[in-house]
């Protein structure tokens, strides 16, 4: 194999509100944590069990940082794509530490809000769509899918065709 891949895809809930700081050059850096939970039923006891993993997220993309700061709150469900990075630092007590984080860089990464405006109750969000809305896509050419249901007799297809006729 000629190369390697460092890609992380997570769907989870924010453990705390996003915190935005600025670098010396004025660029925003947004950080928060996400919880992902795995659930299963114990075969021996039939008891339901859960295991939660916490992931530290850092966003270096200015647009995604703005979206996270404005729309993401503790408990919000999000989909994100980034890459793993480990950094070394010295804590307040002078001890050398390592931290592994999921990083959304300036030109890569994706953040999609999965909650609706009403907190997941199916209300329309601020973009006028039911369900989640997507911000900060990797490519501006990606189109948000039309969420209107198909109607009997091809009515949905007729709407699409009628909208595309230039006269």
Name the strand (E) or helix (H) holding 161: helix 155-164
Instruction: Give residue-wise pLDDT tens across range 88-116.
Output: 999 999 999 999 999 999 888 999 999 87
Q: Does residue 156 lie within any of the structural domains? A: yes
Instruction: Give residue-wise pLDDT tens across range 117-136.
Output: 645 433 333 333 333 344 44
Q: Does residue 3 lie within any of the structural domains? A: no
Looking at the structure of the chain, the number of domains it has is 1
Q: Does residue 36 lie within any of the structural domains? A: yes
CA–CA distance, 48 with 84 (Å, rounded to integer): 31
In the block, which residue shows the tokens 């999921």?
102
From 75, 76, 85, 146, select the one nearest 111 (Cα to Cα): 76
Domain that holds residue 44: 8-164
Residues forming a β-bridge with 16: none
Is 61:138 a contact under the CB 8 Å cutoff? no
Q: What is the CATH number of the domain that holds 124?
A: 2.40.50.140
Q: Does residue 106 lie within any of the structural domains? A: yes
Q: Does residue 2 lie within any of the structural domains? A: no
CA–CA distance, 96 with 22 (Å, rounded to integer): 24
Q: Does residue 1 lie within any of the structural domains? A: no
The answer to whether residue 64 scores a pLDDT higher than 70 is yes
């Amino acid at each position: 194999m000629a190369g390697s891949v460092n890609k992380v895809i997570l769907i989870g809930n924010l453990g705390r509100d996003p915190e935005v700081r600025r670098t010396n050059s004025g660029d925003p850096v947004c950080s928060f944590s996400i919880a992902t939970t795995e659930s299963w039923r114990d075969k021996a006891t039939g008891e339901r069990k859960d295991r939660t993993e916490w992931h530290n997220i850092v966003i270096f993309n200015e647009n995604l940082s703005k979206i996270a700061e404005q729309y993401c709150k503790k408990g919000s469900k999000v989909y994100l794509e980034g890459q793993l990075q480990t950094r070394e630092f010295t804590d307040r007590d002078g001890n050398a530490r390592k931290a592994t984080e999921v990083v959304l860089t300036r030109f890569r990464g994706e953040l999609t809000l999965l909650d609706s405006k009403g907190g997941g109750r199916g209300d329309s969000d601020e973009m006028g769509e039911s369900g989640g809305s997507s911000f900060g896509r990797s490519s501006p050419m990606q189109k948000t899918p039309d969420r209107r249901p198909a109607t009997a007799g091809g009515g949905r297809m007729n709407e699409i065709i009628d909208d595309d006729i230039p006269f």
